[in-house]
């Protein structure tokens, strides 16, 4: 089916990425999980930069390969199939942080704050979520006040992937308190080491171990006006533009989370014997395999559709949201069924299934909860019918 969905060039690219991930990431994946060592992730991301795997969505003059989202989702799936936390860290840097800088930043900002990310020399992060702000960005409390040629940023951000490790952050803050936050929000580039910028803590997570998800505090952080992304009070547009690509990419990551336990379950069910039969011959097992295969293919189609539309600069909010909602739920369901097929062995660390189950659970929350995504999808559907 992949030969129908993907071009020969895309298939060749997937083979290259899979081989690279197999030789460079797979040998250290267990160590990343066990030690939760971000330096291993950082080194791997740097090696990806040298291979040109970080710049699919960016022009050559910034170090990119100009291949587009269809190639980005291939990278996301292949890395996630081996180590989900690593790709969560990668995409937070090379897509979620970088896309706002690329789409809305000026040339000086792109050269200074985008190129090193695409090369893998630096790590980025995006700061949106706060203790009182999750799905409702209108409740944002972080403020940025103009002070001469600078802005003073005060507030805090929570659940920021790469937050404690990032060299550069795209941080959203309210710059006009007299209007609705969506009309008074701005985006800024912050650099690690700026006075008043502190890491409160890194959270201990159920899954995605190795990735760092942080609580950050900003106390009179002085940011030059040159670090404003786009125009003042235009930050909500910057934020919304990034989300469609984020959701399509998370959907692709979910395909990786689903693929690994699915393949393990197929192999195990073909080898495990009970009652003198391979357990694949019992419908309680084989029907789970059939359902998982169908769900994965459907998720793949939704994800690729969103990527193709984004590559054509078509509105893709509904498609990216559908892909993210469906693929992330499929990943959890497939991993859970795979664990059931393996039985007691699935609950051990002898197989990667229990890890993928834990890793996949986050993605029904991050990047838009499953509930919010359903709300967004129905809203887009009614719009299409003129209501």
d(CA 52, CA 16) in angstroms, rounded, equals 11
Backbone angles phi, psi at 152, to 5 degrees: -105, 120
Residue tagged 């995006």 (tokens): 126
The answer to whether the beta carbons of residues 229 and 113 sit under 8 Å apart is no
Buried b (16+ CB within 10 A) or exposed e, 286-324: eebbeebeebbeebbebbbbbbbbbbeeeebbbbbbbbb
Question: Which residues are paired to 229 by β-bridges?
Answer: 187
3-state helix, strand, coil in the chain (%, to 5): 60, 15, 25
Q: Is residue 344 classed exposed, middle or buried when 0-12, 13-18 and 19+ CB atoms within 10 A define those classes?
A: exposed
Please say if 246 is a catalytic residue.
yes
The answer to whether the beta carbons of residues 264 and 224 sit under 8 Å apart is no
| DSSP letter, residue 375 | H
Backbone angles phi, psi at 254, to 5 degrees: -60, -35
Closest CA to 182 of 126, 103, 145, 235: 235
Q: What does the block give as tokens for 132?
A: 């009182």
Closest CA to 321 of 313, 333, 310: 310
Give the count of alpha carbons within 13 A of 8, CB side only: 0
The answer to whether the beta carbons of residues 254 and 203 sit under 8 Å apart is no
DSSP, collapsed to helix, strand or coil, labels residue 71 as helix
Strands 185-191 and 150-161, bridge-based pairing: unpaired
Residue in 246, 329, 350, 384 annotated catalytic: 246
Residues with catalytic function: 246
């Amino acid at each position: 089916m992949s030969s129908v969905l993907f071009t020969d060039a895309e298939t060749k690219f997937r083979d290259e990425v899979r081989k690279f991930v197999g030789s460079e990431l797979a040998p250290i994946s267990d160590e990343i999980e066990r030690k939760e060592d971000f330096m291993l992730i950082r080194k791997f991301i740097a090696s990806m930069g040298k291979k040109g795997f970080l710049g699919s969505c960016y022009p050559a003059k910034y170090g990119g390969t100009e291949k587009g989202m269809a190639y980005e989702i291939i990278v996301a799936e292949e890395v996630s199939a081996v180590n989900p936390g690593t790709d969560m860290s990668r995409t937070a840097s090379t897509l979620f942080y970088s896309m706002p800088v690329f789409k809305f930043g000026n040339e000086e900002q792109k050269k200074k704050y985008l190129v090193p990310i695409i090369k893998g020399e630096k790590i980025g992060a995006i700061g949106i979520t706060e203790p009182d702000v999750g799905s409702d960005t209108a409740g944002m409390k972080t403020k940025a006040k103009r002070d001469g040629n600078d802005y003073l940023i005060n507030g805090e951000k929570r659940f920021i992937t790469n937050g404690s490790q990032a060299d550069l952050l795209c941080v959203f803050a309210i710059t006009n308190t007299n209007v609705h936050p969506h009309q008074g929000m701005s985006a800024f580039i912050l650099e690690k080491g700026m006075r008043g910028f502190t890491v409160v803590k890194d959270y201990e997570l159920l899954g995605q171990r190795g990735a760092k998800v942080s609580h950050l505090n900003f106390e009179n952080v002085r940011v030059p006006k040159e670090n404003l992304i786009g125009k003042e009070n235009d930050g909500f547009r910057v934020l919304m533009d990034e989300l469609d690509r984020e959701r399509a990419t998370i959907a692709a990551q979910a395909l990786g989370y689903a693929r690994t336990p699915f393949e393990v379950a197929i192999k195990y069910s073909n080898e495990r014997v009970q009652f003198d039969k391979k357990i694949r011959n019992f419908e309680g097992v084989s029907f789970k395999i059939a359902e998982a295969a169908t769900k994965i293919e459907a998720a793949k189609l939704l994800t690729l559709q969103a990527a193709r539309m984004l590559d054509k600069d078509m509105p893709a909010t509904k498609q990216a949201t559908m892909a993210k909602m469906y693929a992330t739920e499929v990943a959890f369901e497939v991993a859970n069924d795979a664990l059931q097929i393996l039985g007691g062995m699935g609950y051990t660390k002898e197989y990667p299934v229990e890890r993928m189950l834990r890793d996949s659970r986050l993605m029904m929350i991050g990047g838009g909860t499953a509930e919010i995504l359903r709300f967004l999808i129905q809203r887009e559907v009614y719009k299409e019918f003129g209501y």
